[in-house]
């Protein structure tokens, strides 16, 4: 299965060759830098650095659509904090596009469909319903019971196969499991290293951890054992430098037909079976022709909202398409 592997990690200018068929690696930093390392199948690589205009405390993904999101740290005029969609993530100039708003700059976020599990600086667990991004609904689940330490829980991952929610602390160098309905937190085990700042993600049955290894001052991507929390290095990315701030998020994803995190993926429905990576009149005409269709409507009919579809073509689908109408992802 030849996936395009996309990871968010701290990259330190060194050449990196992956054994897997990896194409793109991304980084979010504690500053407003977004780094993109593109690794071709032949092992050649290139590193790009982008300024995106806001600090990024955490990242998460909509795996069904292949869309990446970033939490912003710059407060909006109404006191909320921005939730951005990251456009042009794999190629071209990445940009942060306002998508929704949050009550705080959550330090660890992970998405399951239209729900986000989010950990705050007070170590509370929240759920955020973004089925209507213009009116997100935040619900406090409860305290994790961990010591409040300004961002102790800075990594989160979700295993959809058994619905396990994981959280990780770079302060305590520990992996936890969290009950998403009660916020009850159980210690799995320590990493065995001084992790410093971290990011975490679940991809193809493995739990990945990105660390700034304070023991070696090197940036690494490794694997966590979900049974005991132990860490083993998978990729050594080189020494940390002042020009490359500490990491805050990790994402690993398979690319969609229009490239990783393309806004067109999940919305471009025409031509049927052969999307052209544009959201244009062909797509709108297809959706409108099937508008009102229920009882088993599919993506090809225009059932694009919420993620994974709900079996009908309605105003939610039309609103989503119109929000990005005219976008050319080529």
Question: Does 109 share its domain with 13?
Answer: yes
Under a CB-based contact definition with an 8 Å cutoff, are residues 330 and 324 in contact? no
Residue 62's CB is within 10 A of a number of other CB atoms, namely 23
Question: Is 134 among the domain residues?
Answer: yes
Do 220 and 95 fall into the same domain?
yes
Position 10 scores a pLDDT of 35
Residue 166 within any structural domain of the chain: yes
Q: CATH number, domain at 97? A: 2.120.10.30
C-alpha span between 209 and 247 (Å, rounded): 11
Same domain, 151 and 289: no
DSSP line for 97-157? EEEEEESS--SEEEEETTEEEEE-TT-EEEEEE-SSTTS-EEEEEEE--SPP-SSSEEEEE
Helix (H, G, I), strand (E, B), or coil: what is residue 96? strand
* Domain count within the chain: 2
Residue 258 located in a structural domain: no
The whole domain housing 25 covers: 6-249
| Residue 269 CB contacts under 8 Å (≥ 6 apart), including other chains | 275, 283, 286, 287, 299, 300, 301, 302, 304
**Residue 257, in any domain of the structure:** no
Same domain, 133 and 44: yes
* 304 within a domain of the structure (yes/no): yes
Three-state DSSP state, 236: strand
User: Does residue 305 share a domain with residue 200?
Assistant: no
The answer to whether position 255 is within a domain reads no
What pTM was computed for the model? 0.72
The answer to whether 313 touches 290, Cβ cutoff 8 Å, is: yes
pLDDT average per 10 residues of sequence, the chain (330 residues) = 36 32 54 70 69 89 78 94 85 85 94 91 91 91 79 86 91 93 95 86 87 81 93 79 66 66 77 84 95 89 81 92 84
Tokens linked to 206: 């493995």
Do residues 67 and 212 share a domain? yes
The residue with tokens 């599990």 is: 117
């Amino acid at each position: 299965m030849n996936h395009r592997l996309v990871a968010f990690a701290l990259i330190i200018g060194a050449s990196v060759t992956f054994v897997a068929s990896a194409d793109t690696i991304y980084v979010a930093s504690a500053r407003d830098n977004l780094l993109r390392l593109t690794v071709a199948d032949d092992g050649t690589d290139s590193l790009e650095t982008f300024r995106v205009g806001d600090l990024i405390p955490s990242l998460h993904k909509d795996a069904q659509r292949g869309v990446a999101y970033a939490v912003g740290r710059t407060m909006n005029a109404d006191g909320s904090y921005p939730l951005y969609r990251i456009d042009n993530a794999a190629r071209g100039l990445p940009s942060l596009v306002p998508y929704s708003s949050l009550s705080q700059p959550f330090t660890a976020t992970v998405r399951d469909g239209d729900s986000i599990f989010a950990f705050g600086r007070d170590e509370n667990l929240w759920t955020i319903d973004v089925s209507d991004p213009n009116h997100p609904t935040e619900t406090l689940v409860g305290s994790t019971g961990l010591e409040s330490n300004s961002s102790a829980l800075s990594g989160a991952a979700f295993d959809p196969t058994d619905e396990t929610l994981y959280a990780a602390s770079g302060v305590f160098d520990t992996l936890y499991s969290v009950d998403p309905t009660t916020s009850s937190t159980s210690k799995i085990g320590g990493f065995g290293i001084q992790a410093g700042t971290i990011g975490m993600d679940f991809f193809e049955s493995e739990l990945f951890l990105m660390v700034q290894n304070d023991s070696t001052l090197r940036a690494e991507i490794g694997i966590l054992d979900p049974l005991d929390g132990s860490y083993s290095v998978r990729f050594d990315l080189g020494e940390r430098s002042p020009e490359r701030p500490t990491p805050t998020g990790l994402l690993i994803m398979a690319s969609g037909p229009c490239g990783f995190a393309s806004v067109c993926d999940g919305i471009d429905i025409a031509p049927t079976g052969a999307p052209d990576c544009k959201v244009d009149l062909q797509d709108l005409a297809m959706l409108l022709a099937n508008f009102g269709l229920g009882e088993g409507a599919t993506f090809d009919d225009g059932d694009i909202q919420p993620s994974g579809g709900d079996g009908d073509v309605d105003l939610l689908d039309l609103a989503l398409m119109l929000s990005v109408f005219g976008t050319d992802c080529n």
